[in-house]
């Protein structure tokens, strides 16, 4: 079977980008219209993406055809709807950044030269950064032996990247399983460890816009005062935590994933930000701890005393499902809420509760995922003075 070549992934419909973005803006404004004044929505800040080569990570299947092999993806065509895709050959990937596109053919040619590297390889994942760090994960349907490790180590040096080998119940890290990213926010550079398999914002330039917008909101509500404290829920690897912390006396960030907490702690130390503490708690667990309905040894082990914090602002970047009712009740106690959302539908649903106690005073749209229906939104809320 000979695979057809992809047309979709080689070229993007850049001429339609603005129309697609305008449609997203209209949709977000409609969803927020019950909660924000027309004048405010008219002034919504819209952060565009680059129209090509904006994505910092990509993954491809590998198709073997005799002694040859190719990158592949599943693609819908005119004859196949989204539920019935076909596998297509991918030579270039216009969504991914230039570094990934440059490495793709070089890596594949190197792999083809050694049967040990090529045999039963079925997937390749790339993770890159604006700071030109690159991690490649090669995934196999076989156990990886010493010969593979020797050849892959040589390949890693030749390509000047980091390589991981994976198979069932096996992970071989040749040098490191992370990349280092450097993001600039309001003129200051922050360094982030981004782990293989961990969550990171895929569009790094738009991520910088998101961080900048969030910091601008924090700066506006604190009026250059750092006398109060910040609570952050769902902090991940401390993506937002690092730059936001400069506007507050102390910051307490929560995250349930052990690997994300470890990355966040590394990032905090690397950036010399000693005003930040990390609690390994879910948002629901933190609500229980804050309301004193349950005690957590994890807080004691981290030497975190909730009573020592004077919270005025909470920052949230929840999963697509949004925020649970108990946590929404907790948020209603804060003077200010900075809400980043990856799902405007659940954002609108959450605002039905939050706008009983707060009003929306700033909105933004971040086009993290061009050429898709996905929308990232930002909303700043302040407490209603009755």
Tell me the pLDDT tens digit for each residue of 29-43.
999 999 999 999 999
Q: Confirm whether 173 is domain-assigned.
A: yes
Residue 111: per-residue pLDDT: 97
On whether both 193 and 92 belong to a single domain, the answer is no
| CATH at 296 | 3.40.50.150
- Reported confidence tier of residue 329, pLDDT bands at 50, 70, 90: very high
Report pLDDT digits (tens) over 237-272. 999 999 999 999 999 999 999 999 999 999 999 999
Residue linked to tokens 């156990």: 143
Domain end, chosen from 178, 201, 223, is at 178
Residue 169: per-residue pLDDT: 94
On whether both 22 and 89 belong to a single domain, the answer is no
How are beta strands 86-89 and 376-383 bridged, if at all? unpaired
pLDDT greater at residue 142 or residue 295: 142
Query: What is the distance between the terminal CA atoms of the chain, rounded to a whole angstrom?
Result: 71
Q: Confirm whether 18 is domain-assigned.
A: yes
On whether both 131 and 189 belong to a single domain, the answer is no
| CATH at 123 | 2.40.50.1070
On whether both 27 and 114 belong to a single domain, the answer is no
Residue 226: per-residue pLDDT: 63
Q: Confirm whether 8 is domain-assigned.
A: no
On whether both 152 and 228 belong to a single domain, the answer is no
Report pLDDT digits (tens) over 41-50. 999 999 999 9
Report pLDDT digits (tens) over 54-79. 999 999 999 999 889 999 998 876 65
On whether both 256 and 279 belong to a single domain, the answer is yes
The residue-averaged pLDDT of 284-298 equals 90
On whether both 234 and 291 belong to a single domain, the answer is yes
Domain end, chosen from 147, 178, 209, is at 178
On whether both 269 and 344 belong to a single domain, the answer is yes
Residue 224: per-residue pLDDT: 57
The residue-averaged pLDDT of 338-358 equals 98
Respond yes or no: is residue 342 known to be catalytic: yes
Residue 8: per-residue pLDDT: 79
Report pLDDT digits (tens) over 157-182. 999 999 999 999 999 999 999 999 99
On whether both 153 and 135 belong to a single domain, the answer is yes
Widest CA span of the chain, in angstroms?
Answer: 74
Count helices and strands (H / E) in the chain: 12, 17
Domain end, chosen from 178, 199, 220, is at 178
Q: Taking the model in full, what pTM does it have?
A: 0.94
The residue-averaged pLDDT of 75-93 equals 77
The residue-averaged pLDDT of 304-323 equals 94
Q: What is the percent of the chain where pLDDT is above 90?
A: 85
Check residue 181 and give left, alpha or beta (phi > 0: left; psi -120 to 50: alpha).
beta
pLDDT greater at residue 259 or residue 82: 259
On whether both 365 and 257 belong to a single domain, the answer is yes
Q: Confirm whether 340 is domain-assigned.
A: yes
Q: Which of 75, 125, 342, 355 is catalytic?
A: 342
Q: Which of 181, 208, 255, 376 is catalytic?
A: 376
How are beta strands 121-128 and 188-195 bridged, if at all? unpaired
Q: Confirm whether 5 is domain-assigned.
A: no
Average pLDDT, the chain: 94
Residue 251: per-residue pLDDT: 97
DSSP code string of 208-224: HHHHHHHHHHHHHHHTT
Residue 225: per-residue pLDDT: 61
Check pLDDT > 60 for residue 82: no
> Please, which residues have CB within 8 angstroms of residue 135's CB and are 6 or more apart in sequence?
126, 127, 128, 161, 162, 163, 164, 176, 177, 178, 179, 196
In this structure, what are the phi and psi dihedrals at residue 11, rounded to the nearest 5 degrees? -135, 140
pLDDT greater at residue 253 or residue 302: 253
Q: Confirm whether 7 is domain-assigned.
A: no
CB–CB of 166/140 below 8 Å?
Answer: yes
Report pLDDT digits (tens) over 183-224. 999 999 999 999 998 889 999 999 999 999 999 999 999 875
Residue 327: per-residue pLDDT: 93
Check pLDDT > 90 for residue 81: no
Q: Confirm whether 4 is domain-assigned.
A: no
Q: Confirm whether 99 is domain-assigned.
A: yes
- Domain carrying residue 323: 14-51+181-383
- Reported confidence tier of residue 83, pLDDT bands at 50, 70, 90: low
On whether both 164 and 296 belong to a single domain, the answer is no
Check pLDDT > 90 for residue 3: no
On whether both 223 and 363 belong to a single domain, the answer is yes
Respond yes or no: is residue 207 known to be catalytic: no
What is the total count of domains within the chain? 2
Residue linked to tokens 């053919």: 105
Residue 199: per-residue pLDDT: 86
């Amino acid at each position: 079977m000979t695979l057809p070549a992809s047309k979709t992934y080689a070229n993007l419909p850049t001429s339609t980008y603005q129309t697609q973005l305008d449609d997203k803006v209209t949709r977000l404004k409609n969803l927020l219209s019950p909660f924000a004044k027309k004048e405010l929505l008219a002034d919504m800040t819209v952060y565009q993406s680059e129209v090509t080569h904006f994505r910092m990570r990509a993954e491809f299947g590998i198709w073997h055809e005799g002694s040859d092999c190719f990158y592949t993806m599943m693609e819908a065509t005119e004859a196949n709807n989204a539920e019935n895709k076909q596998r297509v050959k991918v030579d270039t990937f216009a969504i991914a950044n230039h570094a990934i596109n440059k490495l793709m053919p070089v890596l594949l040619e190197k792999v083809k030269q050694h049967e040990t590297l090529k045999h039963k390889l079925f997937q390749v994942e790339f993770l890159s950064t604006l700071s030109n760090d690159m991690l490649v994960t090669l995934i196999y349907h076989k156990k990886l032996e010493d010969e593979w490790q020797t050849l892959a180590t040589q390949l890693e040096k030749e390509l000047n990247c980091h390589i991981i080998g994976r198979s069932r119940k096996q992970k071989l890290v040749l040098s490191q399983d992370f990349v280092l990213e450097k993001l600039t926010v309001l003129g200051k550079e922050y360094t982030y460890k981004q782990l293989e398999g961990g969550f990171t914002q895929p569009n790094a330039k738009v991520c910088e816009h998101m961080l900048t917008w969030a910091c601008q909101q924090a700066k506006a509500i604190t009026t250059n005062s750092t006398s109060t404290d910040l609570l952050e829920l769902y902090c991940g690897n401390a993506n937002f935590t690092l730059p936001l912390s400069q506007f507050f006396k102390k910051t307490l960030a929560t995250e349930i994933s052990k690997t994300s907490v470890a990355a966040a702690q590394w990032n905090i130390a690397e950036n010399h930000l000693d005003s930040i503490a990390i609690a390994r708690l879910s948002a629901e667990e933190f609500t229980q701890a804050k309301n004193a309905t349950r005690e957590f040894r994890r807080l004691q082990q981290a030497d975190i005393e909730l009573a020592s914090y004077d919270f005025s602002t909470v920052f949230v970047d929840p999963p697509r499902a949004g925020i649970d009712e108990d946590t929404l009740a907790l948020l209603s106690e804060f003077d200010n809420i900075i809400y980043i959302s990856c799902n405007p539908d659940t954002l609108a649903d959450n605002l039905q509760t939050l706008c009983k106690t707060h009003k929306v005073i700033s909105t933004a749209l971040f086009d993290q995922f061009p050429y898709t229906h996905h929308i990232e939104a930002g909303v700043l809320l302040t407490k209603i003075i009755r």
